[in-house]
Every structure is written in C-alpha cells, then in structure tokens.
Chain A
Amino acid sequence: MANMPVSEMRLPPHLAYLLAARRLDTAKDVLSLPEVELMAVLDAGVPTARAAVAHVSEAACPPCQTALALLEERVRLGGGGRLATTLCGLDEALGGGIPMGKLTEVVGPSGIGKTQFCLKLALLAALPEYYGGLDGRVVYIDTESKFSSRRMIEIGQKSFPQIFRQEGLAQKMAGRILVMRPASLADFTKSLEQMKVTLLQHDVKLLIVDSMAALMSLGNEKATAGFRQHPLRWALSFLKSIAEFSRIPVVVTNQVRSQSNDDGYHFSFEVDRKDGNNCAERFDSHLIAALGIQWAHAVTVRLVFESHSGHRFIKVAKSPMSPAVAFPFAVESSGITLLSDEGIDVTGPEITSIRCQGQNILSR
C-alpha cells in the first residue's frame, strides 16, 4: 500500500488539492518527509501538515487482524501448512516440516548434501497428496548448475518404489519441476518479477533457490542503478513477499566462508570477558554463512548442515517453533536419511556455529 495514490484516499478536498498541487502523489511521497519538510513543501502550518499525515497514514496503514483471526484463517487454509521432509525427527522438530509462507534457509559447507536435500524437497512437493506431497509444480532456480534430473529420479525410485513403478510417473513428476538457470543477477531478478504473477496461476507449491550466495557473487561484478545496488536486500524482501502471498514454502541455500577473525563478533560489553574463558572452545574450523548477519535476521527457519565427530548433522539453528536440535544424517542412494530420529540438544555457541571436520568423510 506504499504506492497508493493520494487521489484514491478520499481526503478532505482542501488537503487532496494541496498534496496534488505539490506533486505528492503517493503515500510514500508524503510519509517519507519529516514533518518540518512537509510543512515547507506544502507551505502550510503544523495543523495542516499533521492532518495530511494523519489522513494519509490511516489510508496507507494495512488492516489489523487479531491473532485469533490469523489462527482461524491458518486452520481454514489447511492445518498450518507444512511440506513434510519425510525425515521424521526433523519434521517433528519443525512442527510438521518446512513451513509454508516462510523463508527457510539451508546453509553448510560444499558437498555436505544441501543440493541433495533440495532435490528431495522438490520431488516431495511434486508428489501426489496421497503420498504426502503437495501435488504441485516446483520452481527450482539453479544458479550453480547442480540440478540433476537423473539423481532426482533415482531418489524417487529408491524412496518411493511403489509410486515410481507406475508407468510414466517418473516423467509426470519430473515434468512438474521447472528448473531455471539464470546467467546473471539481472536475469534472476527479472524472472522473479515475472514469477510473482504466475506462481499462483500455475499451481506452484514450492520455490527453491540453490544457491542464493552464488547468485550474489554473480551480481558483484556489475553495479547498476536503483534498487539493484542492493540486490541482496531486494531479493530478500521479494522472496519473503512471494512466500507470504503465495503461501508456499521458499527454500534457499547459502554457502559458507571461513572466518578471518577467530573469536567471531561480540558486543563491546562482552569483550573483556571473552578473552579469558573462550580459549577452550576452539572448533575444527571456523565457518560462517556467506550471506551476512542481515540475511540471517531475515530468514525464519535456518537449517545448518555440518560435519563433526565423524558424522554429518542437520541442525535446526533458528526456528520460532522449535528449540535447537541436531540430527545425524547420511546421503544414500535414496537421498538424505536420518541415522536417528532422536535429536541431540544443542546449546550455546554450538547453535550458530557451522563445523566442517575433515574432508575425508565428505567424499562419497
């Protein structure tokens, strides 16, 4: 509603006339100005400026709902809305699976199984509801050319042999997954813009971006004007709004990079304390998510894939619904499987750390 034209707000005539004469056409134009500047622009006194702001604000403010109405709406639209990952322990920890309408991030070192996880999700969303799927199309934005149809069908055949034995089903399932390989960031933003309109019409039930971080490095080379100066921020808001308005899960993967600073970041008041007692806790290697802290704030659910103590783990590092918990997993021909559905509680700095121990266990 930010771009709502002032002319459609049914303001008192003198205010509408005043704003139109000063070319303050949208809510954004009026509300982005501090009060004093608005008075100067309107060449009017405090009461007029305040009245204008009050009227425009009331019109541009989104409607209010009670949390109860929100809950009822959620129930009416189909019980909370989750995409089950079929990894029982993880589903339970996440309250049923990957939440719809939210942004979920998968972060981890290369080769650990992020793409395997995404392939599995894509397949699940395409499956008929009868088998726990969403019976819809999937848009898979593959920035690193890692999507493999053969591997996906293999996962399907191994995990759901009864379905894939049916004639033509592999073709039908794979046909529902639309893979896009944007060559540049501009490509990506363009297709996102188009997508917003078409997602609902085409019954798309899942959007995957694998990987987001690679996309950002594609964009670094050329800086263009406008919002594209901050492509990350723009993409972030946009993906969130897509998730919310189409009520589909959006899953993005994120890479890691090694951290230059051993101690990580701390608040200034923490500094003295940290020097003393933190030496004992040195992890195998210090990795942090490639997209920075601002990105981390914006994702609703963060799953960290990591390896330590001879196993790979999926860790629920951030979720409004569930405590931090980790599950050991392995990548098999049927895709990712949990070694145990009993989660391991994770506490303290381990929740946010990303560990990658010894490359030897990563090679398959």
Chain B
Amino acid sequence: MSYTGSAPASSSLYWKGMESSGDPHPPILAGAQNAWDMLSDEQSQKHITTGSGDLNNILGGGIHCKEVTEIGGVPGVGKTQLGIQLAINVQIPVEYGGLGGKAVYIDTEGSFMVERVYQIAEGCISDILEHFPHSHGKSSSGQKQLQPEHFLADIYYFRICSYTEQIAAINYLEKFLGEHKDVRIVIIDSVTFHFRQDFDDLALRTRVLSGLSLKLMKIAKAFNLAVVLLNQVTTKFTEGSFQLTLALGDSWSHSCTNRLILYWNGNDRYAYLDKSPSLPVASAPYAVTGKGVRDAASSNHKRVRVT
C-alpha cells in the first residue's frame, strides 16, 4: 500500500487533515494546468473520510473531490448507509480535519431515512469529541457547530420521482451549486432506479446517461467537489454462468473515475476498488454499526447495538 504513504494502518479517521496545513488552495480553473501543479493541487486536497480507516486506505485517503466515484453493491450491503455517512462526514469542521463543506443528496429511491441521518450525525460528533478531547474546553462557538441539527441543516435533499426529474435535477445542479458554493459533495442514491424502471429505448438511455455523466464530471471539476453515484447490481450472463455486475451496462461503466463495489465476503462486508486511475486494485473490510460506517472489528463480529 505504498500509495497511501504515511497513513497509519487504521485507527485515526482524521490523519489526513491533521497533516495538511488546513488551508485548502483556492480552485484554479482557467484553462490548462501543468502536471506539477496538478500534483501539488492533488496533494493539498483533503479527502472525505468514509468513516472506516481501511476503506480510506484503499481509496487513497477517502473520497476525492473533483472526481466521480461510483459505489455499487447488492441490496442491503450498505450503499445508502455509506452515502449518508459521506453526507455527514463532508461537514466535519476544518479545525477537526474535515472539509467543513455541505452536501447535496439526490434521493431517487426514497430510502433516505432522516432518523438514521440524525443517528449517524450523532455518531460522527461523538467520534470527533473522542479524537479531540481537548476541544471540550474550547470556546462555545466551536461547540455550537457540533450539533446533529446543524449537520442536518447542511444537507440539501432532493426527492426525485421520475427519470425526467433526475435529468432536470442534474441539469439544474450547475445553477444550484453556483448559489451554494460551500457544497463539497453531491450524492445520487441511486443513479439507476428510474432509468431501470421506465426507460424502454435502451440506445437512447445510453446516450442520455452518458450526457448526464459528462455533466457530473464537469460539475465535479468546476466546483471542486466529489460526486458519488450509488448504483444497483444486476445479473449478467457471461462465460456460461450468471455473474453480478453493476447496472446500466458497459458504456456507463466508463463514466466514473473510481468504482467501488461493496460485497459480502463470508461474514464480513468488504469493499473492492474495481477501477481507479491512480490506485491499485484492492479490497478492505468495513462494518456498518449503530454510529455509521466504521472499521470492521478485527476478530469477532461485534457490533454496536442500536438503541
């Protein structure tokens, strides 16, 4: 795992932010950029932690801004959980090693349970306070931010009921993000649902989808934010047997920069980095606990009971 450099194996969620100066570069966008600048730009970028150190490691520190990341997996493996977790984690204040940004959550399936978001926000806050015990004595203004309500207020939620609305929402994002500059992540949960339900003309569907993915990439670059697309799985007949693969077909799979697949390996949830331009293929275990996405407990499968 040489790519992740000095990353400690697991434990600390916030190492990335603690190392860097804490002052993100202003986005440079006009025209081209030389590779050296791009490198230093990349190195100064903070990543959005997934909540699990192992998962961050295979992702090179977390979910990257300016990139489109697709996350797929079987029903119930934790796609929505990870999506919600990211919407919360992007808001970890800068002084605690986070991005201090806001989130846009585009819900096409109706699986966004706001009570669960509240729980995950509480879990995130309790972890922050655990990692930064000295901050208890800090001025009240810093503490004021660390309220679950505050986290919830910074998630912009769109409920999408048809593919037309989905196209409209993605088109409209550009304007919306222009008005809300502090949004650092856009999550679409899931990109698949309506396109699989209602779209009959598959050739047209492919073209419309590729138009959307181009727009999302453009948005990610222009507004310096992470785009996370959750995708469903489907079965595909290859080489004489049925296999699982992510939905929407082969041409769609070109449209994301990174692709992470969540799956069951024995008794554990694993994530597999299927595609990345800069990182090696790797997999890592993770767990979904009452507090949200965390490292898998090493030996036996303990979980935090939801109260």
Bound together, the chains give a CA A266 to CA B158 distance in angstroms of 33
Find B234's partner among A54, A227, A293, A352 (CB 8 Å cutoff): A293
- Is A349 close to B, CB under 8 A? yes
Q: Are A347 and B235 in contact (CB under 8 A)?
A: no
Binary flags per residue of B184-198, CB closer than 8 Å to A gives 1, else 0:
000000101110111
Within 8 Å of chain B (Cβ to Cβ): is A84? no
The answer on a CB contact under 8 Å between B157 and A70 is yes
Bound-complex Cα distance A268 to B200 (A): 27
- Determine chain B's interface SS by DSSP, over half rule: mixed
Assess whether A1 is in contact with B165, with CB atoms less than 8 Å apart.
Answer: yes
By the criterion CB–CB under 8 Å, are A31 and B168 in contact? Answer: yes
Q: Does A58 contact B (CB under 8 A)?
A: yes
A261 within 8 A of partner (CB): yes
When distances are taken between beta carbons in the complex, the residues of chain A under 8 Å from B127 are none
A233, CB-defined interface residue at 8 Å? yes
With A27-B164, A267-B244 in contact, is A293–B75 under 8 Å at CB? yes
Task: Please state if A352 and B172 are interface contacts (CB–CB under 8 Å).
Answer: no
Interface 9-mer from A145-153, A172-180, A313-321, A354-362? A313-321
Contact A66-B113, Cβ < 8 Å, known A34-B207, A57-B171, A296-B75: no
**How distant is B285 from chain A, measured CB to nearest CB, in Å?**
11
B208 surroundings in chain A (CB, below 8 A): 32, 34
Instruction: Report yes or no: A347 in contact with B301, Cβ–Cβ below 8 A.
Output: yes
Bound-complex Cα distance A65 to B117 (A): 14
Is B168 a contact of A66 with CB atoms below 8 Å?
no
Bound CA span A267–B246, Å:
9
In the bound complex, residues from chain B placing their C-beta under 8 Å from that of A236 are 197
- Verify B288–A323 contact, CB threshold 8 A: yes
A320:B113 contact, CB within 8 angstroms: yes
Q: Within residues 1 to 19 of chain A, which ones have a CB less than 8 A from any CB in chain B?
A: 1-2
Question: Quick check: A240 and B243 within 8 Å, CB to CB?
Answer: no
Inter-subunit contact A54/B152 (CB<8 Å): no
Pairwise interchain contact B267-A347, C-beta atoms closer than 8 A: yes
Question: How near does chain B come to A88, taking the closest CB pair, in angstroms?
Answer: 15
Closest to B274 in A: A269
For chain A residues 181-195, which have a beta carbon within 8 Å of chain B? none
Shortest distance between the CB of A27 and any CB in chain B (Å): 5
Q: Is A258 an interface residue (CB 8 A)?
A: no
Question: A31-B171, A267-B272, A293-B75 in contact; A320/B160 too (CB < 8 A)?
Answer: no
The residue in chain B whose Cβ has the minimal distance to the Cβ of A58 is B172
Interface hits, B150-182 → A, CB 8 Å: 152-165, 167-172, 174-176
A168 sits at the interface (CB 8 A): no
**0 or 1 for each of A54-84: is its CB under 8 Å from B? (1 = yes):** 1011111110111110110010000010000
Q: How far is the CB of A122 from chain B (nearest CB, A)?
A: 23
Q: Are B164 and A261 in contact (CB under 8 A)?
A: no
Q: How many residues of B contact A (CB 8 A)?
A: 79
Is the beta-carbon distance between B153 and A66 smaller than 8 angstroms? yes
Task: List, in ascending order, chain A residues with CB within 8 A of B261's CB.
Answer: 267, 269
Interface residue total, chain A, C-beta cutoff 8 A: 75
Contacts of B265 in A (CB 8 A): 270, 273
Q: Is the CB of A321 within 8 A of B244?
A: no
Q: Are B114 and A70 touching (Cβ within 8 A)? A: yes
* Contact A64 B176, CB 8 Å, known A28-B164, A57-B168: yes
Q: Is the CB of B158 within 8 A of A227?
A: no
A22 part of interface (Cβ distance < 8 Å): no
| A35 engages B168 (CB within 8 Å) | no
Interface centre among A27, A229, A268, A297 (most CB of B within 10 A): A297
Q: Does A265 contact B (CB under 8 A)?
A: yes
B132 within 8 A of A: no
A27-B168 contact in complex given A62-B161, A348-B268, C-beta closer than 8 Å = yes
Asked whether A300 is an interface residue with its Cβ less than 8 Å from the other chain, the reply is yes
Question: Is B26 in contact with chain A by the CB < 8 A criterion?
Answer: no
Closest to B87 in A: A67
What's the minimum C-beta distance from B283 to chain A, rounded to whole angstroms?
A: 8
Instruction: Please list the residues of chain B having a beta carbon within 8 angstroms of any beta carbon in chain A.
Output: 74-76, 80-81, 87, 105, 109-118, 149, 152-165, 167-172, 174-176, 190, 192-194, 196-198, 200, 204, 207-208, 211, 232-235, 238, 241-245, 261, 263-268, 272, 274, 288-290, 301, 303, 305-306
5 A-B pairs with least C-beta separation: A348-B267, A57-B171, A2-B164, A318-B76, A60-B168
- List chain A positions with a Cβ less than 8 A from chain B: 1-2, 27-28, 31-32, 34-35, 53-54, 56-62, 64-68, 70-71, 74, 80, 93, 95, 99, 101-103, 227, 229-230, 233-234, 236-237, 240-241, 243-244, 261, 265-271, 273, 277, 292-294, 296-300, 302, 317-318, 320-323, 345, 347-352
